[in-house]
Amino acid sequence: MKGLVAYLVGIALFYSALIQGQINHVGLTKELAASESRLKSIQEFILDEESPSQSTIHLEAYWKLSPAQRFIDGYVKHTFLYDASKGSNIRLLLSDELEVDSVLSSAGISLNFNHNENKLEVDLLQFADGELIQVEIYYHGEPPSSGFGSFEINQSPYGRSYIYTLSEPYGSGDWWPCPVYRNSKIDSIDVFIETPSGMLAAGNGLLQSIDSSGVSWIHHWKHKYRIAPYLISTVVGDYFVRSDTVNLREASLPILDYVYPEENSIWEETDPRFPPMIQFVDSLLLPYPFSNEKYGHAQFPWSGGMEHQTMSSMRNPDETLKIHELAHQWFGNLVTCGSWSDIWLNEGFATYLTAVYFERFRPDEFEKWKKDQKEFILSIPGGSIYVSDTNSVTDIFSGRLSYSKAAMVLHMLRNQIGDVAFFNALRNYLTEFSSDGFAKTVDFVYIVESACSCDLQQFFQNWIFEQGHALVSVNWSQNLDVLEFELTQSTSVNSSDLKILKLPVLLQSDLGDSLIHIDLTESTQTFKMNVDFICTDIIIDPKNDVLVESRKNHVLSADISDDYLLYPNPSSTDVYLISKSGLELPKKVSVYDGNGKLQGEFEVSTDGRVRLENNFSWSQSVSWLVFIIDNKRFSLPYLKNKQTSF
């Protein structure tokens, strides 16, 4: 039941206008990139590359939290099968700002531990290799504030305080003892959050219970799917809970939104757009990955959104934010990028899925999205999608490269191999790597090549690993019915190879436009074609589908006079020859067909009327009227009007 008293009408109207109006796609992409980038310490990067420690198969956490105080008090219990080959300890990340009170085994025995340099190492020497072990860590303290805030207290616009967490990529250790190794997922979690009575805590998975019998409330959230540590999250504060269900392919899925009480009406207004959104992605890709549980949004006082598993955090119910974080449930959460160099496998896909959603539901917005993204990407000549320097957070979460360019390259890939192969590849990628939970760029390349049975090494080399975009110059001319154009390619970055392009080219004419696709593989290629129209212009990439900057350095115009005009043109019978610049009219004209063969000569009246005979046998639809005035030759294209000819 979603019917609620609408208030804060002004704000509701503002958001309504925002949602109905045009979207600033680039601005939103930049905000998303900024919101999802978190500062990482050098030490954390080093840990990123380390060999794995023990793999937690189940995590139980108990956190006592209140928005009134920046403080955490509780425990975390790691359950794992002891693998002695990974060392005689379990290594975890935990900020030195937090104090460890004790570490216990499941039998209640104190375990030796060492906590410094933001790492916690617990001694496992007393256990046997292969043994199922539970290590329970009790700790408390004031979590540090790193990056944009892995653990924060902030106020909503209405003055209420909220705790929220934002751990990507390594902020988890700021507030709980988490695995050091990036590429390990936890099979399932049980999280208990103790809050002041009356306050709510949102979390991953399903809410099992709220124990409101004591002075505090204890909220139990359970998530039974594999989860990367940085996707474990909670928010605590005054919330209004909105609930609904949506029918998906394999489940009737609960939708659960924790929203500011003051903004409930805004959510109510935008909610109807969400079921078609999740149904679309669910049907396009694999079924929603966490279909036995729920999906939801937790509103939090921070600009942007974050794809916490089954419960995305976001500042407001913005349509683009919603679809972006929803797409991450597949690309990012079900299958996570295997290293920070491959971040585009998370961000580029979530960004492109947003565009595909617009293409389906709001085609005009899709066209605008492509135009905006292309302008943004081409505004700077360099930069590769693959991140070579993962010490640079700016590089990893580059809005222009990891988000926008990656999304446009996916769009180009789709045009290169076709919709069927492209979307099959996306589904195959998710299927293939969902069990491991991680994938790298080479994995995706392999999947796509298998789906299209084609060699895409050069495409990915051009567009993912190398920098820059394509520059294409066009020269063109038309001689009667032969249209000839020459395309010359270079790149915006000298060191890059020429780009492999499937280039859309629009041939404009008075009879209408023709779109052709050219496979551009050489630095210079010449094309000749017979046409039955007079080409008036050639437009490279008319619908912004390719990362190409086009230049018409020199247009070789056809031998067409600007001094005279034929009207009407096309025509089926007679036409008038009009002098545009005051030159005299000829007494007669010669007519040639498209092959340059003389068809006849015709008188011109003093009023310019050219008496073309109705029974004249036109061999081609394009003809030329040629005449000479003062020893100067003038040519005018004449088009036979097919509709009215007889």
Nearest distance from residue 306's CB to Zn ion, in Å?
8
Stretch 292-331: interaction string toward Zn ion, x if CB under 5 A:
----------------------------------------
Q: At what angle do helices 344-361 and 441-452 cross, to 10 degrees?
A: 50
Question: Of the candidates 357, 288, 291, 294, which has an alpha carbon nearest to the alpha carbon of residue 321?
Answer: 357
CA angle 198, 204, 209 (to 5 degrees): 45
Q: How far is CA 206 from CA 227, 253, 378, in A?
A: 14, 11, 44
Nearest distance from residue 351's CB to Zn ion, in Å?
7
Q: Which is nearer to Zn ion, 137 or 406 (CB)?
A: 406
Nearest distance from residue 335's CB to Zn ion, in Å?
14
Q: Which is nearer to Zn ion, 347 or 443 (CB)?
A: 347
Q: Which is nearer to Zn ion, 233 or 478 (CB)?
A: 233
Nearest distance from residue 304's CB to Zn ion, in Å?
9
Rounded distance between C-alpha atoms, residue 55 and residue 181, angstroms: 9
Q: Which is nearer to Zn ion, 65 or 350 (CB)?
A: 350
Residue 447 contacts Zn ion per CB under 5 A: no
Rounded distance between C-alpha atoms, residue 177 and residue 78, angstroms: 9
| 597-619 as b/e: b if 16+ CB within 10 A | eebeebebeeebebebeeeeebe
Q: How far is CA 146 from CA 117, 150, 155, in A?
A: 15, 6, 18
Using CB under 5 A, pick the residue from 59, 253, 350, 430 that binds Zn ion.
350
Q: Which is nearer to Zn ion, 347 or 545 (CB)?
A: 347
Nearest distance from residue 328's CB to Zn ion, in Å?
5
Nearest distance from residue 179's CB to Zn ion, in Å?
22
Nearest distance from residue 528's CB to Zn ion, in Å?
46
The count of other CB atoms within 10 Å of the CB of residue 596 is 12
Nearest distance from residue 339's CB to Zn ion, in Å?
17
Q: Which is nearer to Zn ion, 67 or 229 (CB)?
A: 229
3 burial via Cβ count (<10 Å: 0-12, 13-18, 19+): exposed
Q: How far is CA 111 from CA 106, 187, 370, in A?
A: 10, 24, 57
| Interface size with Zn ion, residues (CB under 5 A) | 3
Give residues 584-643 in contact with Zn ion (rule: CB under 5 A): none
The count of other CB atoms within 10 Å of the CB of residue 299 is 25
Q: Which is nearer to Zn ion, 312 or 509 (CB)?
A: 312
The region of 34-42, 231-239, 550-558, 604-612 touching Zn ion under the rule CB under 5 A is 34-42
Give residues 154-183 in contact with Zn ion (rule: CB under 5 A): none
Q: Which is nearer to Zn ion, 72 or 323 (CB)?
A: 323
Secondary structure element (H or E) that encloses residue 614, with its range: none
Nearest distance from residue 45's CB to Zn ion, in Å?
20
Nearest distance from residue 49's CB to Zn ion, in Å?
23
514-519 contacts, C-beta under 8 A, 24 or more apart? 515/542, 518/487
Q: Which is nearer to Zn ion, 40 or 91 (CB)?
A: 40
Rounded distance between C-alpha atoms, residue 411 and residue 547, angstroms: 10
Q: Which is nearer to Zn ion, 401 or 548 (CB)?
A: 401
Nearest distance from residue 107's CB to Zn ion, in Å?
43
Which residues on neighbouring strands pair with residue 153, listed in sequence order? 163
Within 480-607, strands assigned E span 482-491, 501-509, 514-520, 524-530, 535-540, 548-551, 564-567, 575-579, 588-593, 598-603
Strand order in the sheet with 501-509: 514-520, 501-509, 535-540
Give residues 36-95 in contact with Zn ion (rule: CB under 5 A): 36
Structure tokens that stand for 458 in this block: 């050069």
Q: Which is nearer to Zn ion, 274 or 634 (CB)?
A: 274
Backbone angles phi, psi at 541, to 5 degrees: 50, 60
The region of 221-229, 337-345, 347-355, 617-625 touching Zn ion under the rule CB under 5 A is 347-355
Residue of closest CB approach to Zn ion: 350
| Three-class secondary structure of residue 447 per DSSP | helix
Q: Which is nearer to Zn ion, 36 or 365 (CB)?
A: 36
The region of 147-155, 343-351, 439-447, 586-594 touching Zn ion under the rule CB under 5 A is 343-351
The region of 28-36, 106-114, 385-393, 435-443 touching Zn ion under the rule CB under 5 A is 28-36
The region of 85-93, 109-117, 223-231, 348-356 touching Zn ion under the rule CB under 5 A is 348-356
| Three-class secondary structure of residue 213 per DSSP | coil
Rounded distance between C-alpha atoms, residue 600 and residue 603, angstroms: 10
Rounded distance between C-alpha atoms, residue 142 and residue 238, angstroms: 22
Nearest distance from residue 402's CB to Zn ion, in Å?
9
Q: How far is CA 466 from CA 346, 401, 550, in A?
A: 19, 12, 20
How many residues does this entry show for the chain?
646
Q: Which is nearer to Zn ion, 347 or 466 (CB)?
A: 347
Q: Which is nearer to Zn ion, 136 or 347 (CB)?
A: 347
Nearest distance from residue 353's CB to Zn ion, in Å?
10
Nearest distance from residue 168's CB to Zn ion, in Å?
9
The count of other CB atoms within 10 Å of the CB of residue 444 is 27
Task: Please give the residue ranges that form the binding site for Zn ion (CB under 5 A).
Answer: 36, 347, 350
